[in-house]
Structure 1
Amino acid sequence: MIASVAALKVEVKYLQRDNEAQAAKINELELQKSELEKLKLQYQAQDGELATIKTRANITENQLEVLKKEGEVKRVAFSASLFASGSGDVGPFNAHTNLVFRHVVTNIGNAYNPHSGFFTAPVRGAYQFQFYIYALGHPSHGSGAMLVKNGQNVLIAFEHQPNLASASSNGVSLLLEVGDVVFMRQFVNTWIYDNVNRHTTFSGHLLFTM
């Protein structure tokens, strides 16, 4: 009996040690689990921050793209002369006749159409236009042209010399809405001359947006 009791005591001690070892392992696992939970929360927070940063980056990229497009649209300027090549007279006609300035010197923003002669405003703003009309003198025909906005005459340049050469010019600042059209119209019973020296021109540019 004494031997059996001693053996049981020894076994109990081993069991206690095993339990203590298992308890230690359990505590260690709990600590590891707690650390994992903390890391998981940190990763989730970092994912959230990364998502926020990515969203902000996308917004910034979109804003830059908008600013870039706005900057491009604000760069508007053109200048053109009447003939693409050669020399000669246009007119006289028995009615006001639209002019098409075919030789494009500058067309930043592509708002001027050399096939129709129309300048179409790409953005609301104040624009400056100038035109120069040249002709040879004639007893019966002067030289003149009108600047027209959306079909309405704005102003005219006119000169009549019976001989030699004549030249006239004018300019104006206009507030244009998007899609407004500005072009030149030759005055009735006048003639206009141009050659490779580009005497007769039509120009315009955006001063500022509004």
Structure 2
Amino acid sequence: MELKVSIATIGLLLIFLASLPDIKAENVEDVDERDPGYKELIKRMENIEARDNVNTELNHRILALENLVKGQQSQISSLQETIEKQADVNKQLHDRVQYLESRDKANGAIETEMKSQKKRIQVVEEFIKNLGDKHTTVRENGGKERTVNKIVQRNIRSIQRRENEQTVAFFAYLTNHIENPGVHQIIAFDHVTTNIGNGYNAFAGDFRAPVAGTYVFATTLMAGSYSTGYHFQIMQNAQYVSNIYIPNGGTASQEVVLQLNQGDNVSIHNIDAGQPVYGHGYSTFSGFLLQQNYSSPGIVGK
């Protein structure tokens, strides 16, 4: 009897196990009904997956924004460099305009004064011309006799000197080092301390004589390195005047006296390529008018 019960029990167990695949095939809703926590777990998993997708999308957008910011920062840096370069160009142009305006203003005043003096001299010259070949003599102090013509001419020359005499002088020095000058490059001493007569041009680096006469020029140059010796030349109208040699890492000075016509130019030229010149006021260029030449055609009334 007990054996029969056991067989019956086993049979029932087999029937139960056979029914299990049907349970797996049932709808999720039926499973949820059997396990109420299962649906909540599914929802939480779905929420987590949704948040992961949102985070992934946000990470992509952040990366894209970071790349965009890097590109904009590069563009901003480039624009800042361009602005700085343009500011330097604008400053140079502004300084150039100021120099030209001051020179034009000075030239205008000189031209007005020269016209007035020319009229006065023309009157005196006309008076001399009307004297003709008269040989009237007068006795000067000391009993020496002179013809009227010679006395008047001498007085005219004296008047011309007094009325046309000009003061010309300049002094300039190099502010920054010139790191790599070229062969026969003009050394432009950019900081002008004195420029009476506006003869020196800080942008071109040369002096142009406003009047004819005898001029004195001086320069001091300092080498920018100890590598080798340096060679420079003082030039007048692109013609060699004198040589300047600087020993290794040292300084050299030169002084010359030149006879210039109106408009002649004088400048300092570098001879060796790539030899730096020291700035900070150690390299200088100066000059002044020693004696004006009143016989030059550039003088009013001549």
Q: How does 1:97-116 map to 2 (within 5 A)?
A: 97-116=185-204
Q: Percent identity?
A: 32
Question: Normalising by structure 1, what TM-score?
Answer: 0.59
Q: How does 1:33-182 map to 2 (within 5 A)?
A: 59=120, 70-71=164-165, 74-83=166-175, 87-93=176-182, 95-139=183-227, 141-161=228-248, 165-182=249-266
Distance 1:110 1:69 in 2: 19
1:188 alignment counterpart: 272
If each structure's strand is expressed as a fraction of its own residues, which one has the higher value? 1
**Of the two, which has the highest radius of gyration?**
2
Q: CA deviation at 1:66?
A: 7.0
Q: Is the 8 A contact 1:129 1:204 kept in 2?
A: yes
Q: Is the 8 A contact 2:177 2:224 kept in 1?
A: no
Unmatched tracts of structure 2, length 5 or more:
1-118, 125-158, 294-302
Which one-letter code corresponds to 1:100 in the other structure? A
Q: For this pair of structures, how many residues does the alignment match? A: 139
SS in 1 for 2:201: coil
Distance 1:125 1:96 in 2: 27
Q: CA deviation at 1:145?
A: 2.1
Which one-letter code corresponds to 2:291 in the other structure? F
Which one-letter code corresponds to 1:187 in the other structure? I
Unmatched tracts of structure 1, length 5 or more:
1-57
Distance 1:147 1:155 in 2: 5
Over aligned residue pairs, what C-alpha RMSD do you find?
2.5
Distance 2:290 2:282 in 1: 25
Higher relative contact order (CA 8 A, sep 6+): 1
Q: CA deviation at 1:75?
A: 0.1
Q: CA deviation at 1:138?
A: 2.2
If each structure's helix is expressed as a fraction of its own residues, which one has the higher value? 2
Question: Normalising by structure 2, what TM-score?
Answer: 0.42
